[in-house]
Amino acid sequence: MIKKSKEAQMNLYYMKNGQAKNTTINNSKENKKRAKEREKRIKENKKQNQKNDFDMETETVIQMTNRNNMKKAEQKRKEINRQERKRKKRNRRIKFFLKLILVVGLVTGGTIFALTSPIFYIKDIKVLNNSQISTDTIISLSELKYDENIFKFYSKNVADKIKENPYVESVKVHRKIPNTVEIEIEERVAKYSVDYMGKYAYINNQGYLLEISEDSKQLPIILGVSTEEENIVPGNRLNNDDLSKLEDVIKIMNSAKENNLDTKVTTIDISNKSEYSIYLEEEKKKVYLGDNTNLSNKMLYVVAIMEQEKDKEGDIYVNGDLNNKFQPYFKEKV
């Protein structure tokens, strides 16, 4: 009863205020409609956000997948390159070993052919530039044999054997394929002889003892050497003191040659380094030179005195200090 009474009251109210009721109802519907639209938008936004989230996740997945695919592709490419390098390396090794086998085979075959074929047997041995030593002597020293293989000797060994001869300064041995050997000699030349126990030991400008003979060969004879007699052996050299004096002897002879006296010098005395002397047998004059200074001027005085004292036997003194008013002079032998 109470409920009906309230409804009746409300109806009465709405009847009295009919317009207001409609307005309220309309507002209520509008609000419901707006609420539904808002709810719809919320749902749509939510769906859109979910879609965007899905798209982002999908894109992320795709990117990750692409990266993985790229990484796999890169690894595969590297693996292919590695395999290709291994293959090329293996091929190079195979080619190298094949070439090596080929070369070894060719060398072995060539060596066997070179060492056994009669084409390469020595038929001619030529000796070049020798004048002091005979060709037969050099061939004998070389120990080379005709009709032996041209490749069966070492050039250095042959050269060393030939150089055992004191006259030999250097040797070059050349193979002239197929069957000729050339031996090129550089000889030492005897320039002086050393008085040795009544004989003569020939030496060159470097002081090498070349030969001992009873004949001086008309070489200038050096007197007063200090080298021990037991060391006067072909192939040896004079001692250091004599080598130093030999340098002065060469200077003396060069100065004499400038004045056409070198062929007249028969002996050179080097006993005293500060008092060298030479003897001119043809002129029958001994020249006292002193030390090795002013040799050119001294030789000029020697020539002048020789012309002035022609056909006289005696001694010429140019051993003083020419720069200190020393006057060279001649002392005739009585």
The predicted model scores a pTM of: 0.65
Element containing residue 316 per DSSP (H, E): strand 314-317
Residue-by-residue DSSP string for 163-214: TTSTTEEEEEEEEETTTEEEEEEEE----EEEEETTEEEEE-TT-BEEEEES
- The DSSP element (H or E) to which 267 belongs, if any, is strand 265-269
Residue 241 structure tokens:
């003191």
Phi, psi at 23, each rounded to 5°: -65, -45
| Average pLDDT score over residue span 37-63 | 66
Strands 276-280 and 285-290: antiparallel
Locate 109 and state its tokens.
């075959």
- How confident is the model over 281-301, as a mean pLDDT? 94
User: Where residue 51 falls among pLDDT bands split at 50, 70, 90?
Assistant: low
Token reading at 228:
């021990």
Q: Is the pLDDT of residue 185 over 90?
A: yes
| pLDDT for residue 57 is more than 80 | no
Given its phi and psi angles, is residue 222 left (phi above 0), alpha (psi -120 to 50 degrees) or beta?
Answer: beta
* pLDDT bracket for residue 104 (50, 70, 90): confident
Model confidence at 81, pLDDT cuts 50, 70, 90, reads confident
| The pLDDT value given to residue 298 | 94
Q: Which residues of 202-219 are buried (b: 16+ CB within 10 A; e: fewer)?
A: bbbeebbbbbbeeebeeb
> Does 59 have pLDDT greater than 80?
no
CA pair distance 250, 252, nearest whole angstrom: 5
Asked if the model's pLDDT at residue 127 lies above 90, the reply is: yes
User: How far is it, in rounded angstroms, from Cα 106 to Cα 125?
Assistant: 29
Supply the pLDDT for residue 85.
85
Band the pLDDT of 34: cuts 50, 70, 90.
Answer: confident
Max mean pLDDT range (82-96, 113-127, 144-158) = 144-158
268 vs 220: CA distance, rounded Å: 7
Q: How far apart are CA 110 and CA 108, in angstroms?
A: 5
Instruction: Give the orientation angle of helix 295-308 with respect to helix 240-258, to 10 degrees.
Output: 50
What is the tally of helices (H) and strands (E) in the chain? 6, 12
| Whole-number pLDDT of residue 216 | 84
Q: What is the pLDDT of residue 114?
A: 67
Distance from C-alpha of 224 to C-alpha of 273, rounded to nearest angstrom? 10
Confidence of residue 9 (pLDDT cuts 50, 70, 90): low
pLDDT-wise least confident of 26-35, 89-98, 233-242: 26-35
Q: What is the pLDDT of residues 192-227, one digit of tens each?
A: 999 888 899 999 999 999 999 998 889 999 999 999
Amino acid, res. 127: V
Class of domain 192-332 as given by CATH: alpha beta
Distance CA(290)–CA(294), nearest Å, equals 10
Tokens linked to 166:
């004191």
119-187 is classed CATH 1.20.140.10: no
Q: Give the separation between CA 252 and CA 291, rounded to whole angstroms.
A: 10
Residue 258, number of CB atoms within 10 A of its CB: 13
pLDDT at 113: 65
**Is the per-residue pLDDT at 7 higher than 60?**
no
Q: How far apart are the C-alpha atoms of 280 and 330, rounded to whole Å?
A: 14
Q: With contact defined as beta carbons under 8 Å apart, do 286 and 315 qualify?
A: yes
Mean pLDDT, the chain, integer: 85
Cβ neighbours of residue 66 closer than 8 Å, sequence gap 6 or more: none
Mean pLDDT of 274-280: 96
Q: Are 208 and 188 in contact (CB under 8 A)?
A: yes
